[in-house]
Structure 1
Amino acid sequence: MKILFVSSGNRKQGLNPIIRLQAESLEKVGVEIEHFLIFGSGFLGYLKNVFKLRTLLKTHPVHLIHAHFGFSCVVAQLAKGKIPLVVTLMGTDILGHKNEDGSISLRNKLVLWINHYFANHVYEKAIVMNQIMKDILSKRKNPTYILSNGVDTSLFYEVPKSEALQFLDWDPDVHHFVFISNPARPEKNFPLAEEAVKLLQERGYRVQLHAVFQEKSENLKYYYSAATALVLTSFHEGSPNVVKEAFCCNCPIVSTPVGDVSITTAGIEGCFIGPYDSVGFSAQLEKAIAFSTASGRIKGRQRIDEMGFDSQIVANRIKRIYEESIGEK
């Protein structure tokens, strides 16, 4: 079974690590994966890739195309011909790209309308991250699967805190919070994390916030293992991988009620959901400090097993979707 992954190539560090890890997990279950990367900005920039992809498919046959995220899915749809297509919609492409004040610009409303139109009326099979996204696509008549991205449990695991602190050269007498995302992206809402940590510092807590961006995947386990908690303050997410990575490392979590985080963390002692204001969010950070002091780590690895988040389990589910799609054709 030969599958062509279609996704953006605009990232400076190359292929999106989530997509790369998914491809690797599929290869482990016997699926041959090749990649077509899209270069360009805006809808028109993406459309220029339709002809390139169509030309490639004429000379390079595949059994199915799997497109990831927003306009990459539109390009694949316009270029695919009779080849089966599965799309993965990952969050902002359906939920919207918000500004720092939580609003959506006119330009991004147009982007959202295009993505909603194709998702509701055109795509054959769609994978979404959570029930909220599926509900938004209520006009779909074709199959929609809720299947969040898996996590490589052999890559993410807890290491002794002393070892992690030494690797990162962090002060062991400070409570460290990690923000695993690009702080410049407005929808990630980094200012809330900054303001909440600052309030704790003003109250005498020895705390430090670390924005971790473009770090190698193999090093992230040290950040999760050294941290008092992962901090997630986004306006919108699908099913954030950072939460599953934190689970693997048994790292406490403090998050806004975004995406499926309230569901995936429900009942786990050491995971806290905070509001979108700095005072309320800092109170949840304070709870995380108390938990870390008393108990240290959460039972996150257990939740990975309970919810089937292991990347190989997810890969087998995706493989079955491929087989259904190819069989129908």
Structure 2
Amino acid sequence: MTEIRVLNLVTNEDAQFFRAQVQELERRGIDLTTLSVPGRNRSESIDANEDGKRSVLDYAKFYPSVLAHSLDDYDLIHANYGLTAPMAVAQPKLPVVLSLWGSDLMGKYGPVTQRFARFCDEVIVMSEGMAEIYEGECLVIPHGVDLSVFRSMDQSTAREELGWPQDERIVLFPYPPKRDVKNYPRAERIVDGARDRIGVDVSLRTATGVPHHRMPYYLNAADAMIMTSRREGSPNTVKEAMACNLPVVSTDVGDVRTRLDPVEPSAVSDDDAALTAALAEILDRRERSNGREYADAIALERMGERIVAVYEDVTE
């Protein structure tokens, strides 16, 4: 394969799933240069999966850099997150691949994304649910998980590493509690209900600001993960939990139902009573899931293989 030179545009180059994507593509021989929109990004505020405190002026300042780089010897532009699409399609030379992350399509920036995505040569979304929302043809390629990092380990060892008590039932909420779209108060209500059902101590713990390489300890130390998001694309936390055999109880968002359908124990529902009952049963049984058995489809290598195929198609 001839080396492909790609100009990456991104709102937050520190987003862990984006960094993993870059590393996997470079491992496959893709030559990548990344340009990040100037200004404050969500990683400095709340969530890496959305653009945060930037102004229209920040994006206006971004375009000259994109244009100048596009005149160099690149084969294509890969715009990551919908708000980078206007700058990508405004340059006159290179084909454009656009990856949508979720909030750029389903949140307040959705109309902007839809308007400019139609001018891209290929659009990638994270889930079938996003594909149904997107007004055009697209490919579903979920973010991948590094299965060499996210793997099952002894729970007592993981708890000792984190300083967590060995005898307590622990539910993990792996998001910032203040992030409204993640709906932490609902998670609290469900955990409270499960605690009342089984009559033993149950704690709800978060993992805000944890280095990514430390997350496997949290996923292995917990007895269950709860996700009560109002919307998602293809949440990596669910896939990472699967890879660590951690049972997941989740609202029916993004591709979560598809991912967890064969996994036992797990539960997906928009009904609080059903989620409470499922979580109580999981905590009472205190058994790991079989999620790892279904992890091949979400492997980082599989994602990289498919993105490279997209690059080859648009540069033919």
- TM-score, normalization: structure 2? 0.89
Q: 1:322: which partner in 2?
A: 311
Query: Which shows bigger deviation, 203-212 or 184-193?
Result: 203-212
CA shift in 2, pair 1:258/1:291, >3 Å = farther
Q: 1:99: which partner in 2?
A: none
Q: 2:288: which partner in 1?
A: 297
Please tell me the residue identity of whatever aligns with 2:69. Answer: L
How do 1:129-168 residues align onto structure 2 when only pairs under 5 Å count? 129-138=126-135, 140=136, 143-168=137-162
CA shift in 2, pair 1:245/1:168, >3 Å = same
Residues 177, 228 of structure 1: 8 Å contact kept: yes
- Long gaps (5+) in structure 2: 40-53
Runs of 4+ in 1 over 6 A off after TM superposition: none
What's the RMSD between the two structures over aligned residues?
1.7
CA shift in 2, pair 1:34/1:276, >3 Å = farther
Which deviations, in whole Å up to 9, do the C-alpha atoms of 1:198-218 show, x marking residues without a partner?
Answer: 333455331111111221111
Q: Does residue 73 of the first structure (1) align with residue 85 of the second (2)?
A: yes
Q: 2:51: which partner in 1?
A: none
Secondary structure (helix, strand or coil) at the match of 2:225 reads strand
- Long gaps (5+) in structure 1: 97-107
Residues 273, 284 of structure 1: 8 Å contact kept: no
Q: Does residue 116 of the first structure (1) align with residue 92 of the second (2)?
A: no
Q: Does residue 25 of the first structure (1) align with residue 2 of the second (2)?
A: no
Q: 1:309: which partner in 2?
A: 298
Which deviations, in whole Å up to 9, do the C-alpha atoms of 1:69-117 show, x marking residues without a partner?
Answer: 1212333222x32111111111111122xxxxxxxxxxx3xx2211122
Q: Percent identity?
A: 31
Q: 2:44: which partner in 1?
A: none
Residues 10, 35 of structure 2: 8 Å contact kept: yes
The Cα of 1:150 is off from its aligned counterpart by 0.8
Please tell me the residue identity of whatever aligns with 1:164. Answer: A
Secondary structure (helix, strand or coil) at the match of 2:87 reads helix
Secondary structure (helix, strand or coil) at the match of 2:282 reads helix
State how far apart, in whole Å, the 1-side matches of 2:261 and 2:275 are: 18
State how far apart, in whole Å, the 2-side matches of 1:174 and 1:289 are: 10
Q: Does residue 227 of the first structure (1) align with residue 227 of the second (2)?
A: no
- TM-score, normalization: structure 1? 0.86
State how far apart, in whole Å, the 1-side matches of 2:122 and 2:239 are: 25
The Cα of 1:311 is off from its aligned counterpart by 0.5
Secondary structure (helix, strand or coil) at the match of 1:118 reads helix
Secondary structure (helix, strand or coil) at the match of 1:48 reads helix
CA shift in 2, pair 1:284/1:75, >3 Å = farther
Residues 232, 255 of structure 1: 8 Å contact kept: yes
Number of equivalences: 298
